[in-house]
Amino acid sequence: MSVLAEPIEQAKTNSLEQHWMPFSANRDFKSAPRLITRSEGMYLWNQHGDKLVDGSSGLFNVPAGHARQSIADAVHAQMMQNGYTAPFQLGQPTSFEFAAKLTKILPEPFNHVFFVNSGSEAIDTALKMVMAYHRANGDAQRTRFVSRERAYHGVNMGGVSLAGMVKNRETFPVVMPNIVMMRHTWNEENAFTKGQPETGAELANDLQRFCETYGGSTIAAVFIEPVAGSTGTLVPPKGYLERVRQICDEHGILLVFDEVITGFGRLGKPFAVDAFNVMPDIITLAKALTNGAIPMGAVAASDQVYETITEAAPENAIEFFHGYTYSAHPAACAAGLATLKIYEDEGLFDRAAELSDYFLDAIWSLQDIPIVKDIRGYGLMGGVEVHPLPGKPGIRGNEMQKRLFWNGCHAKWTGDTAILAPAFIAERSHVDEIVDAMRKTLMAE
């Protein structure tokens, strides 16, 4: 071993300090680390060899289960054939094949896909698409964007600007101007509602009020998570999304669905568009796009958006001045193609729909526990919210996440809410394992 290699190997083995971890309490984590050393199917193994059931499909991005051989084989084969192609003014066949397969499962108006590398990049790309669309239409005065309280749209500056979760933006005060926030849709009277709440559609009229206050002709787009995921699974009230769509149509405003979490079967249908029967103009995608194997995101544009932008440019000119070095990376496209094949061959979207009732009934069984404040859910996506410690929001949830890990289950917590989203390969027994670990953890408080 060389003189240089030896200290590097020691650092790998003996120190966690060099890695500045994302969205993590670094000092707390490194004092008692929780490391995953292996994953397969529905399970993870920690550094002590303990087996954990994965209650959140990684970060909602591994619905086909961990360590899928066909995805690994596809990536390996692609890397050996062509590991990289510069994506500007140059192409490679895998990206065109993937886009064609992807548009077949998207709703009919969405026949064009722009590939990026994450959900955060998808949001920033969608913002630019909206601007380019209105400029091409001669509506450059549309410079205002509408988002919602408790919204999460990634961590790039566009997404932070749209963020309605204060911790995701208070440290970074210099953001895009002209963002206005609609109210979120959770209210106490709808606590413990399974599926869509019956009341709350009138909250969509916040958008109408903004049109009357600022002028509908100044608003470019509304960004909405059909089910707000990272804030703890806020399911839209009946009629809410329909009313937002109606107001957008009346004022020429584009509607963007952030389906980074809800896309690819999470709600029991291919997309939230299908689940709620409300058609946006742009859809952002990521997470389940490659089953978590390779970073990738995408923005699906309706024919109208795509054609308006491309046809406004002169012949032989670049129509959309945007892209990334790793847009449509060959290995990511290969992973995506293999992932879509698994979804189709194993009927995973249908399996998710079939398991939904059992999953929702199982997590609702936790409502008798005193510290549980609310339970929300739709499809294979649920939120279990606990009462915060007095004056210390989020502290109880952070401790719960750690205890749940040592009780044999991984789940994503945001603040004081656990977000449960098992993989579509899950059996009822796996749901039972997740809920049993949750009960043990919640009852110990």
Radius of gyration of the chain (CA): 22
Beta carbons within 10 angstroms of residue 393's beta carbon: 12
pLDDT per residue as tens digits for the range 89-121: 999 999 999 999 999 999 999 999 999 999 999
- Binned at pLDDT 50, 70 and 90, residue 13 comes out as low
Determine contact, residues 172/190, Cβ cutoff 8 Å: no
pLDDT, tens only, 119-169: 999 999 999 999 999 999 999 999 999 999 999 999 999 999 999 888 777
For the record, the structure tokens of 385 come out as 């919210």
277-336: per-residue pLDDT in tens?
A: 999 999 999 999 999 999 999 999 999 999 999 999 999 999 999 999 999 999 999 999
pTM of the predicted model as reported, rounded to 2 decimal places: 0.95
Q: How far apart are CA 424 and CA 346, in angstroms?
A: 10
Specify whether the CB–CB gap between 185 and 200 falls below 8 A: yes
**Residue 214 in contact with residue 180, Cβ under 8 Å?**
yes
Taking the C-alpha atoms of residue 162 and residue 23, their distance in angstroms, rounded to an integer, is 18
CB burial class (10 A; 0-12, 13-18, 19+) of residue 104? exposed
- Answer whether residue 428 shows pLDDT above 70: yes
